């Protein structure tokens, strides 16, 4: 029976790398995959999934209001799909998570979602909340804080490297805007010794 998987982590844990590797594994065995990514995330280019280690692939984009069930069903009829892989899954709407569950339940296609669990204020993203509630399998992809502990949280920085407390939930950025921290250092807003800041300069 096909399942919905939610692979979550803090920033810079290798979610996109894992997604691209999974897609490669399916394609290596002659199966087709559908890659989806949020249209608002253009860090690797619109309609592209890119990893920090240099891997990338073309992907279809999704936006709020898109019917992902209809899109997957149409593609599956044209060319049977072995797997649907969703990057930046935190940006899914709850309705879209339900649509992806129907893909697994009714079409028998595994759906692998990769995304952040919480935002810079420690609050769940809507897509992540729905996936945590509905996915069959939850898997944490681990990364580390500057102190060596497991990082589960993320802070957002301004242009001078100061931690921001307020702002919109969504602000696209990478290592120049976000730092992954353990819960203690997130709570203390401690991004590490001054030599850690060199990555933002």
132 pLDDT higher than 60: yes
Both 30 and 128 in one domain: the answer is yes
What value does the mean pLDDT of the chain take? 86
Q: Which residue, 183, 181, 176, 201, is CA-closest to 191?
A: 181
| Structural tokens at position 9 | 């982590």
φ, ψ of residue 190 to 5 degrees: the values are -105, 105
For the packed helices 94-107 and 68-78, what is the interaxial angle rounded to 10 degrees? 30
User: Is 58 designated active site?
Assistant: no
Global pTM reads 0.83
For residue 49, the enclosing domain spans 4-141
φ, ψ of residue 135 to 5 degrees: the values are -65, 145
Average pLDDT over residues 78-82: 94
What's 187's domain CATH number?
3.30.60
Both 110 and 48 in one domain: the answer is yes
What's 68's domain CATH number?
3.40.50.300
Contact by Cβ (8 Å): 20, 56: yes
What is the count of structural domains for the chain? Answer: 2
Average pLDDT over residues 42-61: 72
Query: Any residues with CB less than 8 A from the CB of 177 and at least 6 apart, and which?
Result: 156, 157, 171
Both 13 and 88 in one domain: the answer is yes
DSSP character for 123? Answer: P
The pLDDT value given to residue 77: 94
Both 24 and 96 in one domain: the answer is yes
Confidence category of residue 192, pLDDT binned at 50, 70, 90: confident
How far from 91 is each of 5, 39, 46, 106, 128, CA to CA, in Å? 16, 10, 15, 23, 8
Give the integer Cα–Cα distance in Å for 28 and 127. Answer: 30
Both 162 and 128 in one domain: the answer is no
Both 116 and 174 in one domain: the answer is no
Q: How many residues does the chain have?
A: 201
Both 23 and 115 in one domain: the answer is yes
Both 137 and 173 in one domain: the answer is no
Both 79 and 98 in one domain: the answer is yes
Average pLDDT over residues 109-128: 92
pLDDT digit string (tens) for 53-73? 667 777 889 999 999 999 999
The pLDDT value given to residue 169: 64
Both 108 and 163 in one domain: the answer is no
Average pLDDT over residues 7-16: 85
Contact by Cβ (8 Å): 137, 6: yes
Average pLDDT over residues 34-40: 88
Both 83 and 29 in one domain: the answer is yes
Contact by Cβ (8 Å): 47, 180: no
Give the integer Cα–Cα distance in Å for 114 and 109. Answer: 16
Catalytic residue among 58, 79, 88, 188: 88
Considering only 33-47, 112-126, 143-157, which range has the smallest mean pLDDT?
Answer: 33-47
| Most confidently modeled range among 40-44, 132-136, 149-153, 182-186 | 132-136
Give the integer Cα–Cα distance in Å for 22 and 122. Answer: 29
Q: Higher confidence at residue 122 or residue 129?
A: 129
């Amino acid at each position: 029976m096909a399942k919905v998987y939610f692979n979550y982590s803090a920033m810079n844990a290798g979610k996109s790398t894992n997604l691209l590797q999974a897609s490669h594994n399916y394609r290596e065995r002659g199966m087709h995959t559908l890659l989806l990514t949020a249209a608002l995330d253009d860090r690797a280019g619109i309609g592209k999934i890119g990893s920090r280690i240099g891997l990338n692939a073309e992907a279809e984009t999704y936006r709020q209001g898109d019917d992902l069930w209809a899109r997957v069903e149409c593609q599956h009829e044209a060319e049977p799909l072995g797997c649907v892989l969703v990057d930046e899954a935190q940006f899914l709407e709850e309705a879209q998570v339900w649509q992806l569950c129907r893909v697994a339940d009714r079409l028998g296609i595994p759906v692998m979602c990769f995304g952040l669990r919480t935002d810079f204020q420690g609050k769940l993203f809507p897509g992540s909340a729905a996936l945590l509630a509905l996915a069959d399998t939850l898997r944490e992809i681990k990364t580390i804080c500057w102190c060596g502990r497991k990082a589960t949280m993320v802070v957002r920085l301004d242009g001078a490297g100061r931690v921001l407390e307020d702002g919109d939930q969504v602000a696209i950025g990478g290592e120049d805007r976000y730092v992954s921290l353990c819960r203690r250092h997130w709570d203390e807003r401690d991004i590490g010794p001054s030599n850690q800041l060199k990555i933002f300069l």
